[in-house]
Amino acid sequence: MAEHDGPAGRPCPICGEGMIHRHCKYVCPSHGVIYDCSDTFY
């Protein structure tokens, strides 16, 4: 089981799978880091 800071949250804009919020980043289990805290457009 993968370690993460909480339940899956925002959907990945590529595949729709719930992303994991980890260390100021949103990580899709399939695509890797999608957003970080410097991105203000989501």
Per-residue pLDDT, 9: 77
Buried residues in 25-40 as b, exposed as e (16+ CB within 10 A): bbbbeeeeebbeeeee
User: What range does the domain containing 34 cover?
Assistant: 1-42
Q: What secondary structure letter does DSSP report for 31? A: T
Taking the model in full, what pTM does it have? 0.62
DSSP 12-25: PTTT-PBPEEETTE
Per-residue pLDDT, 30: 92
How many domains is the chain built from? 1
3-state class (DSSP) for residue 36? strand
Per-residue pLDDT, 41: 58
- pLDDT per residue as tens, the chain (42 positions): 444 444 567 899 999 999 998 888 889 999 888 888 777 655
